[in-house]
Amino acid sequence: MTVTANTAAGPGPQAPQAGVSRRPGSHWAGFALRRAGGLLLSLVMLIVLTFMIVPLIPGDPAQAIAGTDASPETVAQLRGQMGLDDPLPVRFADYVAGLAQLDLGNSFRFNDAVGGIIATKLPYTAQLAAMAIILVLAIAVPVGMAVGILTRGGRRRWLDLAFGNVAGFLASLPGYVTGTLLIVLFSILWRVLPAGGADSLQALILPTVALGIGPACAVARVVRQETATVLEQDFMRTARGRRLPPLRLYLRHALPNLLTSTLTLTGLILASLLGGAIIIETVFNYPGLGNEIVQAIIYRDYPLIQGIILVVGLIATVLNLLVDLVLGIIDPRTLGAKSHG
């Protein structure tokens, strides 16, 4: 995935063309309407797809919960209590009516409100995803910038090659492989970090690294590429010609021009982090939504599966909207592009 940074065209502002009306407010209005419509459409599609696809999971929810030794009469009675014998349109109408009242239904397995179960597990997943995002930015921006600066203009080809190979390898590793390797090294062989749970900050280290190291390497490669591009711009040559201190040169002039591409890619990665958390939480027995949805799939707990997917999808959509808002504040030109794109 390649993301191109919006770089400054030069040190001086250009005069507006005659007859062209610049109204930033109209860009914000168009952006808001477009994203509100997109959010509503995404939500409707998510509701329909989850309701239609989740019941396709092989197995009978009533049989899974009643157990293999349950009599056919018991299973049939349980199916009736779950509403599984109702026609599909009736079940969908009941589901939508419940959503309209912010009611996600009751779990087949626990017979508790799905919303309450999600509210209990969501903070754990949110904490893990937030720490992974912090790790991504803490690694990707400084490392990518440093390699881009050190290798600009074809310098230090060996460093560029080594960075590309190592970052590409780590970015391609599946999360469960990374998590398993971390457990073997740090929990079994060296015994310095716990292999699971969420009872301490130490227990979060390995899941955070397993979830964030791949995206961090992917973003670092983009930051390195964008750094090399920014450093070749005319305004950077002008800044270097003024013999500015390196810290001021790179942090004040180069870094702001990297933020757009970095934040854009980070926003796209947010959804993958939430999805990756499902696997990582299972590997580390972490008590979040990921671990919960795996158990829900095993027991064919349709309402809980649908509720988790719906909440996670809504959160991912809202987070991407917030990223677009931040990009619009940093670079208002993106509003015009998004409102007309």
More confident residue, 192 or 316: 192
User: How confident is the model over 239-291, as pLDDT tens digits?
Assistant: 777 877 777 778 777 877 777 777 778 777 887 788 788 889 999 999 999 99
Please provide the average confidence, as pLDDT, over all residues in the chain.
85
What is the structure's pLDDT at 21?
45
Q: How confident is the model at residue 7 (pLDDT cuts 50, 70, 90)?
A: very low
Rg of the Cα atoms in the chain: 25
| Bridge partner residues of 106 (DSSP) | 113
Report the CATH fold assignment for 119-340: MetI-like fold (1.10.3720)
pLDDT value at 23 more than 70: no
> Contacts by 24-31 with C-beta closer than 8 Å and gap 24+?
24/332, 24/335, 27/332, 27/335, 27/336, 27/339, 28/328, 28/335, 30/335, 30/339, 30/340, 31/324, 31/328, 31/335, 31/338, 31/339
pLDDT: which is higher, 204 or 325? 204
Which pLDDT score, from 0 to 100, does residue 316 have? 85
* pLDDT tens figures, 28-46: 777 778 878 888 898 999 9
- Is the CA virtual torsion 176, 177, 178, 179 positive or negative? positive
* Contact between 275 and 289 (Cβ < 8 Å): no
